[in-house]
Amino acid sequence: MCGRYTLAKGKGEWAFAHVRIEWKGAPRYNIAPSQRAPIIRLEQGLPVVRELRWGLVPSWAKDAKIGNSLVNARAETVAEKPSFRSAFKRRRCLVPADGFYEWQQLGTLKQPWRFVRPDDRPFVFAGLWESWRDPSEPGAEPLESFTVITTEPNAVAAPVHDRMPVILDGESIRRWLDKETSPDSLAALLRPCPDADLTRYTVSPLVGSPKNDLPQCIAPLPVQMGLDGH
């Protein structure tokens, strides 16, 4: 599961392979489900940034609360699951990030880890988005929401958790956004990133509360806990 991530870079131009965008938002140190966060999608063939709610609400849903359980989509089943298959075919997006958190069980405690690029540059998760209208309020504005696709972990993430977000790079970014990419080709993109593209360090339990969106959330602990290496 990917249940928290960061976008601590804040304002500036982002470049992800051929996709370049200007972001004017504030730094985010602890993005949590149900919060709004930026995604990148194609509109009239051009990449644009929109802020959507994290937790996908399918167009056929009766209640927006379903989004609380659709924060992630498993790569292995995303093409078939009713909640995701329509978006997988037609509404794919990129979710900008510069780190994500996972928790390691240490006895009765859970130690949070932050995973980042070794060079600390931003990256993008493979995501899906949806538009939903509340059937009880026909005139209300549609709710747009997104989910992050997860896959099996690489060697850096595996000692901490049994899932990790799909991180796209290079040509895979273009293929993911391209509406002409075949379903089989899309499935081939949903794999763990290379081990060399990720490193990790332990952080404060502050990240456990979504109320804490603070620089202290991404600060390494003075003494690294839990696992050795990486």
**Domains identified in the chain and CATH numbers:** 5-218 (3.90.1680.10)
Task: Give the pLDDT score at 229.
Answer: 41
pLDDT tens figures, 69-83 = 999 999 999 999 999
CA of residue 17 relative to chain centroid, distance? 18
pLDDT tens figures, 3-31 = 999 999 877 777 787 788 888 889 999 99
Q: How far is 62 from 137, CA to CA, in rounded Å? A: 11
User: Is residue 225 packed enough to be buried (19+ CB in 10 Å), middle (13-18) or exposed (0-12)?
Assistant: middle
Q: Which residues are catalytic?
A: 2, 102
What does 131-184 look like in DSSP terms, one character per residue?
Answer: EE--TT-TTSPPEEEEEEEEE---TTTTTT-S-EEPEE-THHHHHHH-TTS-HH
pLDDT tens figures, 41-92 = 999 989 999 999 999 999 999 999 999 999 999 999 999 999 999 999 999 9
Confidence (pTM): 0.94
